[in-house]
Structure 1
């Protein structure tokens, strides 16, 4: 049975490049995705600085680090994001390909970054940084949790502008006609194919809503007073958001086969989990565990002091 999509939103006429210049025969371009990374890191940095400048927000009315230490942390975070994001993509999504083409692992300009890898990279970098500087690791994690959603929001918006990581076909009125032969290849569809704008779903859930909740808890509800609480909420919130959006997001081409049209990595009959869900489910469980543990530990410490 064939279908048509009479209602859809045309893809906006925005290219992936903001501008480009040619110097000495070489072309240099500033892309929306690169700008999203830069702006996300800078805004996150300023949010952490704003928080540590208000010691009354933290346990014992003492910030865990100084603004200068936040600047030093920025370098570690950037390295963690880039190295972890790239290696995560290589190991989680296309290990066989990069095993055959190891020379392409460092070619980040060709695309291919994984949030889960970048997350692990930042965790490792922050853990080492906290140990070297005598900073409470839970509180450092809380400050990073406050900073990350802005980067996620901007990054997903850049994915949308780039016309990548789109969703599954849909006949809903907000379906978007993404450009390109891959996006327009929909089985059983006559004419233009509309897809879920899953990048915008992620931007709203992982960036806007989760970020607003963490900001409110941090600055209005003494969220930093329980070290590790905000970090646990972020980890669980991201895991839940990504798990849900994966139901609407198109799987990567190399996971899709004739016998597995949904691109499941773990498949049980007609049901299964995508790679994104497989990586996000542990985050949800770990995040909930962190919140329970830190709140229980904080309550026990208060009772011991009473």
Structure 2
């Protein structure tokens, strides 16, 4: 059934500014803004003495230094994850294309793995609690995810399944059918709602004093939100459905959900850290 009213897709140029050979795309801007805001939010958390009690924590200077490590983890891991998880055959035949990050194609799950690796290396180099750094990054990560999904919408990529809801869009390049704006669903679930839940958990309860709990809550919350959004999102054409309604996004989210539950249970049973 076709809805009586179909929303026209906003014609937004993916390139925000272009001067000669230099072009700033909304996709790149989303990463820059997301990383900067996440950095500022992590600083605010570590500077709030009320949240920590006697639990050891990074300093604001540590957070400043970590930004570069985290950024490299996001970009390298996100690109490698997309290449390996979603289209290995194409990039095996066109290896130089794997370096073309500006053309799009980033995997959240790959970026997650890359960021975890960067946090482990950074924490060990500074003698910091790895789980505390995980908690801080988990609380801030939904900010970057939100902006990334908005950029996906602007780029008219990762569109949703055909729909008859009043807010359906006809996406350029996706055929004449109105479709779910699944990018906006993910921005809400993985970005806004997850951020607010972690905000409440970190500021209203003494959970930063239980290292690992908030990191587990992030992994569980993201995996759950992504799995829900997959019901409205069209899987990558070269992968399709793995079995019935099951998609690659769901497959990669299941370990996050299980690991998140396990880490929350483990952290809740541990005594609070003392300096």
TM-score (structure 2 length as normaliser): 0.95
Within-5 A mapping of 1:143-182:
143-180=136-173
Q: Does 1:10 align with 2:22?
A: no
- Deviation sequence 1:3-42 (CA, Å, 0-9, x none): 54433211112221222122xxx3x221111111001000
Contact 1:55 1:61 in 2 (8 A): no
Aligned partner of 1:33 in structure 2 is 27
| CA distance in 1 between partners of 2:117 and 2:85 (Å) | 17
- Deviation sequence 1:133-160 (CA, Å, 0-9, x none): 1111111111001110000111101111
Aligned partner of 1:260 in structure 2 is none
- Deviation sequence 1:168-210 (CA, Å, 0-9, x none): 1011111111112xx11xxxxxxx3100000000000000000
| CA distance in 1 between partners of 2:84 and 2:53 (Å) | 39
| CA distance in 2 between partners of 1:177 and 1:5 (Å) | 11
SS of the residue 1:253 aligns to: coil
Indicate which of 241, 246, 249 corresponds to 1:264: 241
Unaligned runs of 5+ in 2: none
Which deviates further from its counterpart, 284-293 or 213-222?
213-222
- Deviation sequence 1:217-256 (CA, Å, 0-9, x none): 212222212111111000000000001110110111112x
| CA distance in 1 between partners of 2:3 and 2:245 (Å) | 27
Aligned partner of 1:244 in structure 2 is 228
Contact 1:229 1:290 in 2 (8 A): yes
Indicate which of 174, 195, 213 corresponds to 1:229: 213
Aligned partner of 2:117 in structure 1 is 124
Contact 1:234 1:287 in 2 (8 A): yes
| CA distance in 2 between partners of 1:10 and 1:222 (Å) | 46
Contact 1:7 1:171 in 2 (8 A): no
Which deviates further from its counterpart, 93-102 or 195-204?
93-102
Aligned partner of 2:259 in structure 1 is 286
Contact 1:5 1:193 in 2 (8 A): no
Aligned partner of 1:258 in structure 2 is none
Q: Does 1:78 align with 2:71?
A: yes
- Deviation sequence 1:32-86 (CA, Å, 0-9, x none): 1111100100000001111111233125154x11111111111110110010000
SS of the residue 1:273 aligns to: coil
Within-5 A mapping of 1:187-226:
192-226=176-210
Figure out how many residues of one structure are paired with residues of the other and give that number. Answer: 274
Which deviates further from its counterpart, 158-167 or 114-123?
158-167
Aligned partner of 1:188 in structure 2 is none
Deviation at 1:110, TM superposition (A): 1.7
Structure 1 outlier segments of 4+, above 6 Å: none
Deviation at 1:298, TM superposition (A): 2.9
| CA distance in 1 between partners of 2:80 and 2:11 (Å) | 32
Unaligned runs of 5+ in 1: 185-191, 256-262
